[in-house]
Amino acid sequence: MSEPLNILFIGDIVGLNGLAMVTKFLKSLIEKHEAEAVIVNGENIYDGKALTKKHAEELFAAGAHIITTGNHIWERWDARPLLREERRILRPLNYPRENGGSGYAIFKTAKGTKVGVLNIQGRVFLPPIDDPFKTAEWAVQNILEETPNILVDMHAEASAEKQAMGFFLDGKVSAVLGTHTHVQTADERILPNGTAFITDVGMTGPYDSCVGLRTDIAIKRFMLGTPHKYETATGDLKIAGVILKVDRETGHAHSIERIIFPEFERTSAPVTAELPSAEPALINAE
């Protein structure tokens, strides 16, 4: 068997500080994990919304091959011409075609292996765009003509919808990785037919925040029920991602490993609770 194809995926980059973390540390993460293909989600870089050409160039210079996005890519007008001119930046494929931009791309690694990347978006608690499942099925058929090594960024709010996409594409793609909810889930696994899966890769950005937003603003939004201007938080910066090892001949995944860098410091005392009594209290039915 040939050596595995190592793919590094970095979850939603939030704010310019999140971007700075990536430009500073991506090279060392690539070296550490011997990553041959590098994909990053860049939907939240500029004040939580989209990214500019300059930001994209910084990510490519840092080692990213493809930038995926999500619902926030549309919230900045200058991202639209960028999507049209830079085919290495993807937007979810199942938004209507007339919006412009590409939803999938195929690139060749330095070792000559073709890797396909598909960006798709769920519909639960998000705009009712085209069917993500039928769209993904169509795109995967197209990409499979070129390569079995396919990574899917499933940008969605609902865990069940992401899991359904994982099982729907199981065996047809190398990985279905959830993004958008910004909190890394601990359910990474290889599905029965060889597709790596995680419900959410997690956020790259400030963890002293509510999914990237300043906590005082988030609390106001929830308590007052009215809009308050988005401001990205700044404290406790981390990179969240996964590293995949894929059989480059079959496209099936050998392993998926979560990354949080730097790791969380769990400094408070462990939570302890009284165990329930071994002898349950009898309930008097009378």
Within 165-204, which residues bind Fe ion (CB under 5 A)?
Answer: 180
Q: Does 44 bind Fe ion (CB under 5 A)?
A: yes
Q: Does 36 bind Fe ion (CB under 5 A)?
A: no
Nearer to Fe ion, 180 or 252 (CB): 180
Nearer to Fe ion, 5 or 242 (CB): 242
Name the residue type at position 81: P
Is residue 262 reached through a cis peptide bond, with omega within 30 degrees of 0 on the bond before it? yes
Q: Which of 33, 72, 182, 252 is catalytic?
A: 72
Least gap, CB of 72 to Fe ion (angstroms)? 5
Active site residue 72: yes
106 burial level (CB within 10 Å; 0-12, 13-18, 19+): middle
Coil/strand/helix, residue 244: strand
Tokens of 225: 């029920």
Least gap, CB of 210 to Fe ion (angstroms)? 13
Tokens of 178: 């959830």
Nearer to Fe ion, 5 or 59 (CB): 59
Choices 44-52, 84-92, 129-137, 251-259; region in contact with Fe ion by CB under 5 A: 44-52
Q: Which of 5, 11, 12, 169 binds Fe ion (CB under 5 A)?
A: 12
Q: Does 232 bind Fe ion (CB under 5 A)?
A: no
Residues 221 and 230 sit within 8 Å (Cβ to Cβ): no
Residues 83 and 102 sit within 8 Å (Cβ to Cβ): yes
Residues 23 and 59 sit within 8 Å (Cβ to Cβ): yes
Q: Does 69 bind Fe ion (CB under 5 A)?
A: no
Residues 212 and 44 sit within 8 Å (Cβ to Cβ): yes
Q: Does 205 bind Fe ion (CB under 5 A)?
A: no
Q: Does 70 bind Fe ion (CB under 5 A)?
A: yes
Number of residues lying near Fe ion (CB under 5 A): 6
Q: Which of 71, 94, 204, 232 binds Fe ion (CB under 5 A)?
A: 71
Within a 10 A sphere around the Cβ of 179, how many other Cβ atoms? 29
Nearer to Fe ion, 71 or 199 (CB): 71
Q: Does 91 bind Fe ion (CB under 5 A)?
A: no
Nearer to Fe ion, 5 or 126 (CB): 126
E-only strand ranges, 122-207: 150-155, 175-179, 189-190, 196-198, 205-206
Coil/strand/helix, residue 162: helix
Say how far apart CA 221 and CA 94 lie, in whole Å. 30
Active site residue ranges: 72
Contact positions toward Fe ion, by CB under 5 A? 12, 43-44, 70-71, 180
